[in-house]
Structure 1
């Protein structure tokens, strides 16, 4: 068990908890490395169901802003993006039934990771945002791939461009998440009980066929996101987006 990611197995269910609650489970390099390692371990364990959730008030606020502000090192950026690629592909292809249980915010990279799950369940007061555009960046962590899978190409583009924060019911209404509940813990437990009385081996085999077929495309998208994000980090709009974030004001983008 790592410092920033906790894992617990109970019968056929493994629960992975992002554990930086004071930072709203923002993903720094340490958390991503620990998550990648734990996912590889879980891939080999005997569980049939994996729940991914966050400690405290949020699922994950996304990539760690302090890490982003401190890292102008191209090699450091490349290393982090490689870890993100490993996390995204491993979680997407896990030979288990996966559930993202969203408590509080799921934004940016946090939302990309949640959307890699087979089921996405959210507390009704959860806030859902693919909000990279607000700092002049593009989605990463496979965000383009997962948004397109759930919304279709045109709606995915529009949602990414708008970068709006949605309440859980709004996200469910457009098909971005699967279930909204006012009692996340209780309803999740009920769903887990139902799953354990289903032919999980057959469900996992269907997942293997459908997801593995898409895995090369996901890997290609992740590589394209790395190249695109590297370019966007050099733009005036990204610098302006970051400065506006620090100044707590609206950004003045110029398309440069």
Structure 2
């Protein structure tokens, strides 16, 4: 099964036991708009029904995913009400839950930036590897929002609560060497990145993948209720934060390309 077109915002290719999902909005560093999020959900359901054992997730062009497409979401928000916002957040939550419980072994292959929702998406995989010069950031704080897409869940599971709060509250652009040191990602590749990703895929193909997937299923059943709860809490928090003066200042400063002046209101 091969689904591929340069005009599609998400490309899915399945070759034997290996599938590749590629985010395909390279002009905006694969920022997620409404169309992409809906398409990701569709492709994840499609690959779940395939014969593949392993899914590699990557971005086209110069980056993995720069997060939510703020300009696109602003345009949508101008004509959208609370019901539209809830539908959008529900679809983001469906995307993350679907990826987390996908019955395949998943690898996120980060090159360039992985930020905001894009980082949450990457961290939902079973293994996260990154090209040496890549950057990761949980940078919602810059527009006075909390992480969504299960960001609280995935970061806390990897680094613990104290480090998670530091990562979220500082919103710092982290070189992947630092992210590796913190335990946020699993591997940094200095050499040929595509070859390293293929080597990881080959390593897993030579293991008893059904056994690995059974372990994944056990952890999923342990932690899925917590993820669902956090996704709902994040949705409620985003709605509250969108009403704040600090969020409005964050958006205006983003558009004007200046440092925000937050007041805690």
- Quickly name the TM-score band, shorter chain normalised: over 0.9
SS of structure 2 residue aligned to 1:34: helix
SS of structure 1 residue aligned to 2:51: coil
Deviation at 1:68, TM superposition (A): 2.3
1:218 corresponding residue in structure 2: 227
Deviation at 1:10, TM superposition (A): 1.4
Determine whether 1:193 maps to 2:198. no
Deviations 1:15-49 (A, max 9, x none): 00000001110000000001001101111211100
Runs ≥4 in structure 1, deviation > 6 angstroms? Answer: none
SS of structure 2 residue aligned to 1:59: coil
Deviation at 1:236, TM superposition (A): 0.6
1:113 corresponding residue in structure 2: 121
Deviations 1:40-93 (A, max 9, x none): 111121110001110000100000111221214222211111111111001001
SS of structure 2 residue aligned to 1:187: helix
Q: Distance in 2 between matches of 1:132 and 1:26?
A: 14
Determine whether 1:203 maps to 2:208. no
Which shows bigger deviation, 240-249 or 130-139?
Answer: 240-249
Q: Distance in 2 between matches of 1:226 and 1:172?
A: 29
Which 5+ residue runs of structure 2 have no aligned equivalent?
Answer: none
1:178 corresponding residue in structure 2: 186
Deviations 1:168-224 (A, max 9, x none): 111101000000012211101111111111010000000000122211110110011
Deviation at 1:155, TM superposition (A): 1.1
Determine whether 1:7 maps to 2:18. no
Q: Distance in 2 between matches of 1:235 and 1:184?
A: 42
Determine whether 1:22 maps to 2:30. no
5 Å-filtered alignment, 1:72-111, equals 72=78, 73=80, 74-111=82-119
SS of structure 1 residue aligned to 2:145: coil
Determine whether 1:42 maps to 2:50. no
Q: Distance in 2 between matches of 1:237 and 1:99?
A: 36
1:53 to 37, 53, 58: 58
1:137 corresponding residue in structure 2: 145
Determine whether 1:168 maps to 2:173. no
1:250 to 248, 259, 262: 259
Q: Distance in 2 between matches of 1:220 and 1:107?
A: 23
TM-score of the superposition, structure 1-length normalised?
Answer: 0.98
Determine whether 1:240 maps to 2:260. no
SS of structure 2 residue aligned to 1:58: coil
2:72 corresponding residue in structure 1: 67
Q: Distance in 2 between matches of 1:237 and 1:212?
A: 38
Residues paired across the two proteins, number: 256
